[in-house]
Amino acid sequence: MVALRLIPCLDVANGRVVKGVNFVDLRDAGDPVELACRYSAAGADELVFLDIAASHEGRSTLVELVRRTAESVTIPFTVGGGIGSLEGITELLRAGADKISLNSSAVRNPELISDGAERFGSQCIVVAIDARRRKSDSSRWDVYVKGGRENTGLDVVNWSKKVADLGAGEILLTSMDGDGTQEGYDLDLTRMVSEKVPIPVIASGGAGCIEDIVDVLTMGSASAALLASLLHDGVLSIQQIKSELLLRSLDVRPLES
């Protein structure tokens, strides 16, 4: 059995880590390289580094910042934001990324998922899905792109099944409704997608306490929990979370002594 993972997320804009609520009202949360080193040393299983303004601004991810960050950590590292071609994927992998996260570009050009998986391996291709619950039907969610600014009209569950069929190795599933609220993950959303696809699902959006993390890894059937505000604001540490998860007999990688 593959161990459950805790993954700090570094949302970057203008060279700084930022965090907001429901994808708006961004505030500064620190230096990306410094935070990456801190979380790597603290026992995080992986890191996710997202240039959150790249797609909206129509530019590529900040490669030099990726290179500096990747050189500073000792754990697997996913990079996303504004990646629209195989050449862009190649550039970031050469800069030190272990995986690439596709979001808007995957919706615009689904073949990028299959082409990327074929050239680099499915394990390198993560598809990020930003989901918002429909007001007209609370049992369904829409896929948003361009940093949560544009509703594609795609159904999240159907899109999740398609990206898995195209060869994605993981899905990074963010509840836009829960993002930054620290009120808990969307368990219905996470469980529904996790049960419909044969690949790991990383749950994102809403972690506020250890109980939220336990719930999404058990009732939500997630393979990993993405963490941001909870760690950036010092509410909890990786060590505190892992220690509690181990006490509850959840299969996480122990901290090194």
Q: Which residues are catalytic?
A: 11, 130
Residue with tokens 């299959």: 114
Beta strands per DSSP E along 89-212: 99-102, 125-133, 141-145, 150-155, 170-175, 201-204
Asked if 183 and 171 count as a contact pair (C-beta separation under 8 A), the reply is: no
d(CA 38, CA 34): 6
Tokens 């000792």, residue located: 74
Q: How large is the C-alpha radius of gyration of the chain?
A: 17
Q: Are 130 and 148 contacting, i.e. CB atoms less than 8 angstroms apart?
A: yes
Longest Cα separation, the chain: 51
The Cα–Cα gap between 245 and 99 comes to 26
Strand ranges in the chain using DSSP code E only, listed in sequence order: 5-13, 16-21, 24-30, 47-51, 77-80, 99-102, 125-133, 141-145, 150-155, 170-175, 201-204, 224-227
Residues in the chain: 257
> Cα(151)–Cα(157) distance, rounded to whole angstroms?
15
